[in-house]
């Protein structure tokens, strides 16, 4: 059977049923890897293993979401190269785990997951077409908009019950004191939890597995992700965020994604782009706090909206700075 291993996954030349199945599984793993902008099925597999290590439920949710959103793209005739690269899988993976994380996982919720995952494919296609005009990346925007819509809708659906993880609706209140003392343990746990929280996971082991997955894809991305998590953590610490939030990685995961996107994907890495990426990563931690406070009256989480907003801004501004080189122009 003509199956070859490449640096990013399986290469299958034939169209036999077994080959088609392996190709689809490889595509699903790429979709999971694309959550952190990595077109690499080995990376996706490590991400999935990390999630299963924490929770069988969440691992199944990621698989279901990625499979449904990918199959929807195939059935609707999406561009095969985009499908093969996992571009229609990652938003489905995230929206599925988000719905299962925030809602009680009964039969109706799983139906809700399938519907939400399918909707991310349509929204992804629409945004790809729209954003192509400005040469802008869509990122995880379909996940953010779909998840917020489906979670807000639960206020009118009495049979979808919250897990009580959603923020308590109400006007944001300023922290009167700095809660807890940040220690070396806080920093070490927060560093890897910041990577794990990209998939709503609060486990250092899961974060380590995610980091190994990134290392398999790219040593540069691996280092950038760790620095992104550390930057978000240090900004939160310096600004007086609560120690439990720092330890949990809450301020790290958006900064991880921003650092990977700008320092590892969209710009050629040099001194200018490194400084640009650092500025964006610091800003992301601030924007996370702001978006969290802004959505608190609705009882909604920030998700990866801070990452999306900051990267859109910095990519859009990039061509105005001659010292920066877009990766596509290199």
As a three-state string, the secondary structure of 200-237 is CCCCHHHHHHHHHHHHHHCHHHHHHHHHHHHHHHHHHH
DSSP of 18-45: HHHHHHHHHHHHHHHHGGGT---HHHHH
Q: Please give the torsion angle defined by the CA atoms of residues 200, 123, 105 and 148, in that order, rounded to the nearest 10 degrees.
A: 70
Across the range 80-85, mean pLDDT stands at 98
pLDDT of residue 165: 86
Say yes or no to pLDDT of 70 above 70: yes
pLDDT of residue 1: 56
Say yes or no to pLDDT of 212 above 80: yes
pLDDT of residue 301: 96
Q: pLDDT grade, residue 125 (50/70/90)?
A: very high
The domains located in the chain, with CATH, are 10-156 (1.10.3430.10), 184-329 (1.10.3430.10)
pLDDT of residue 13: 84
Across the range 203-221, mean pLDDT stands at 98
Find the largest Cα–Cα distance for the chain.
Answer: 65
Say yes or no to pLDDT of 150 above 70: yes
pTM listed for this prediction: 0.95
pLDDT of residue 174: 60
């Amino acid at each position: 059977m003509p199956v070859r291993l490449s640096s990013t996954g399986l290469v299958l030349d034939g169209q036999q049923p077994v080959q088609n199945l392996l190709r689809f599984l490889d595509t699903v793993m790429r979709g999971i890897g694309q959550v952190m902008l990595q077109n690499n099925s080995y990376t996706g597999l490590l991400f999935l293993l990390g999630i299963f290590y924490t929770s069988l439920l969440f691992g199944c949710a990621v698989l279901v979401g990625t499979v449904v959103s990918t199959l929807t793209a195939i059935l609707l005739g999406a561009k095969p190269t985009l499908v093969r690269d996992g571009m229609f899988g990652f938003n489905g993976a995230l929206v599925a785990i988000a719905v299962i994380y925030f809602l009680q996982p009964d039969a109706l919720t799983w139906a809700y997951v399938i519907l939400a995952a399918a909707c991310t494919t349509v929204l992804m296609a629409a945004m790809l077409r729209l954003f192509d005009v400005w040469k802008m990346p869509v990122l995880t925007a379909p996940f953010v908009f779909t998840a917020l819509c489906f979670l807000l809708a639960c206020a009118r659906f009495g049979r979808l019950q919250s897990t009580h993880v959603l923020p308590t609706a109400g006007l944001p209140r300023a922290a009167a004191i700095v809660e807890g003392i940040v220690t070396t343990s806080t920093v070490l746990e927060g560093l890897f939890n910041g990577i794990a929280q990209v998939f709503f996971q609060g486990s250092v082991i899961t974060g380590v597995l995610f980091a190994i997955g990134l290392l398999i894809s790219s040593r540069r991305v691996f280092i950038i992700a760790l620095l992104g998590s550390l930057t978000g953590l240090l900004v939160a610490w310096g600004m007086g965020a609560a120690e439990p939030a720092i330890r949990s990685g809450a301020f790290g995961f958006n900064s991880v994604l921003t650092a990977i996107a700008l320092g590892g994907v969209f710009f050629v890495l040099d001194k200018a782009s490194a400084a640009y990426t650092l500025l964006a990563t610091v800003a992301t931690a601030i924007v996370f706090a702001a978006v969290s406070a802004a959505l608190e009256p609705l009882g909604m989480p920030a998700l990866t909206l801070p990452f999306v907003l900051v990267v859109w801004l910095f990519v859009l501004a990039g061509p105005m700075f001659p010292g920066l080189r877009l990766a596509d122009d290199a």
